[in-house]
Amino acid sequence: MTEDLRLDSLEGVGPVTTKKLGDAGIHNIMDLIVRGPVEIADITGMDRETAEKIVNKSRLQLVDQGLIAHDFVSATDIYKRRLEIGKISTGTECLDNLLDGGLETQALTEVYGEFGCGKTQWCHTMCVHVQKPIEEGGLDGRALYIDTENTFRPERIVSIAKANGMDPEKVLNNIIVARAYNSSHQILILEESGAVIKENNIKLLIVDSAVGLFRAEYLGRGTLAGRQQKLNHFVHLLVRIAETYNCAALATNQVMASPDVFFGDPTRPVGGNVVAHTSTYRIYFKKSGKKRIARMVDSPHHPEQEVIFALSEAGVVDPEDGTTKKTTVKKPTAQVGHDSSITKPKIKKVEPETMDSEKKTATKTADAEKTETDATKSE
């Protein structure tokens, strides 16, 4: 670590405060930016105003070093900066087309879907591809895999590495795995990941899955508020880490069936708006026989579209039939419960004046008929 990033290089941060921050997993000024003044105040016991000053000083120092952007910049500067953002190729033409080149750094990509749709397989595949040289679509970096469901399998990494012509032992050594056993442990691992990311050139941070432990521990509506608060802290921390340390964040999410949906797909990701609003990109995986379908559900600049992919010994791959083109998703125009094929009968609107005229005509006709009948009787 350079001297400019040390905590004691900041004015107002002495040995006692440095130790308190270190015990909480905050080892440099980049960690201060990630955690924020509210959490810093809670950890150290200092007042909120002092914590805000320290964090602001850290931010200005990182701006001077060119590690983060200024507060006010032109759209041109942002555009140039985005051109330099790294992308990890998925190793498939179909998913690269969907993501416009691959997983993006400084962003959180969320993938949700039912069991067996390929979420964990994609995570394993990306752990291998991130290690490839930049000219081959990787970022020449390592991966940090936070496993919350005990689904990480090193033997799967070996098979994917061999299929890609890479040394399995070297690939395994470049993947750091952290097993989380409960939601609090999951948050703690992420809070302490800053030093690991900085020291090990981590370019891909995976959480598989992000919501599973929260969902298992917080049961019933009475605990929903507490669960969402902790989950909100976790996903926002995940995004700040990706932005600050310039790595790609990939998180899997579970699903549930919405009982109030009578038409269409009832599958919904768990986590509510907290996760939906925080994810930069949201992708839906679903099964279709032996093939899998990936749909871009939410993105700042991608259209809603879907592609077909497959699973093999090499991990996530293109389908054998070569179907890699994007298909734009057309949203139905008919309302739920409405059959657009049924044509409603046209109802003629009768104006009041017309009604009066027709009434008078009918009366005259009736009188004429009565007169004619009376005349016949008299004859």
Domain boundary assignment for the chain: 3-64, 91-328
Question: What is d(CA 373, CA 379) in angstroms, rounded to the nearest whole number?
Answer: 10
Residue 34 is predicted with a pLDDT of: 86
10-residue stretch averages of pLDDT, the chain, 379 residues long:
71 83 84 87 86 87 80 86 90 95 96 95 98 96 97 98 97 98 95 93 96 92 90 95 95 88 80 93 92 94 92 94 63 42 44 48 46 39
Amino acid of residue 289:
G
pTM of the model: 0.77
Residue 355 is predicted with a pLDDT of: 45
DSSP assigned state of 6: B
Residue for token pair 């279709």? 288
Domain 3-64 and domain 91-328 have a common topology: no
Helix H or strand E encompassing 253:
strand 248-253
Can you state the percent helix, strand and coil of the chain, rounding each to 5?
Answer: 45, 20, 35
Residue 83 in tokens: 């051109």
Which residues have C-beta within 8 Å of that of residue 163, sequence separation ≥ 6? 312, 313, 314, 315
List the CATH code of the domain at 3-64: 1.10.150.20
Task: Indicate the CATH number of 91-328 among 2.60.40.10, 1.10.10.10, 3.90.1330.10, 3.40.50.300.
Answer: 3.40.50.300
DSSP assigned state of 303: -
Question: What is d(CA 282, CA 251) in angstroms, rounded to the nearest whole number?
Answer: 10
Give the chain's end-to-end CA distance (angstroms, integer): 125
Amino acid of residue 336:
V
The three-class DSSP label of residue 74 is coil
Question: What is d(CA 116, CA 113) in angstroms, rounded to the nearest whole number?
Answer: 8
CB count within 10 Å of CB 162 equals 15
